[in-house]
Amino acid sequence: MPAQFFLNVFIAILWVFISDEYELQFTTFVFGYIVGIGIVFLMHRLFGERFYLARPWALFKLILIFIRETFSSSIWVLKHILSPKVTYKPGIFKYETQMRGEWEITAISLLLTLTPGSVVMEVAPEEDYLYIHGMDLEESKEMLLKSLYTFEKAIMEVTR
């Protein structure tokens, strides 16, 4: 990936030299860098690796997914809290995760714990299981599993 970045910077510098200007302008370099992104994207398969901006883009998508999940689960929790009757039944369940490595397991645990209505109680790294407490397992377990799958997919895009 560093080779792709350096090629992109080289294209931007070439763009500055080729442009027909009497003064060096930062906007010319930025425009050359943007043109270089397009060229490197078309050529990234020649390097035999992912496009170098794919990981920052995946991180941006992970942040957006976290914001969406936090917002939707906050509304769900708020509905249950403001309802006149206590109808939810909390519980604990065991979830087998696809995450490997300390960083991935920590990331999925923190993202899920920061999402309202669920808490990761324990992580068993040798077995790759998470013990999760849910606010209402009868109603929200399916929604919680969907959130877990979405988080796992997004984290794997960032880390692998």
Q: Is the pLDDT of residue 21 over 80?
A: no
- Residue range 69-78, pLDDT digits in tens: 999 999 988 9
pTM: predicted TM-score of the whole model, two decimal places = 0.84
∠ CA 141-144-148, nearest 5°, is 135
- Residue range 49-70, pLDDT digits in tens: 899 999 999 999 999 999 999 9
How much is the pLDDT for 23? 82
Range 132-152 average pLDDT? 89
The sign one gets for the Cα dihedral 132, 136, 142, 144 is negative
Amino acid at 80: H
Range 116-137 average pLDDT? 88
**Count of beta carbons in the 10 Å neighbourhood of residue 106:** 14
Q: Which residues contact 134 (CB under 8 A, 6 or more apart)?
A: 90, 91, 92, 93, 117, 118, 140, 141, 144
Residue 147 has which token pair? 């959130």
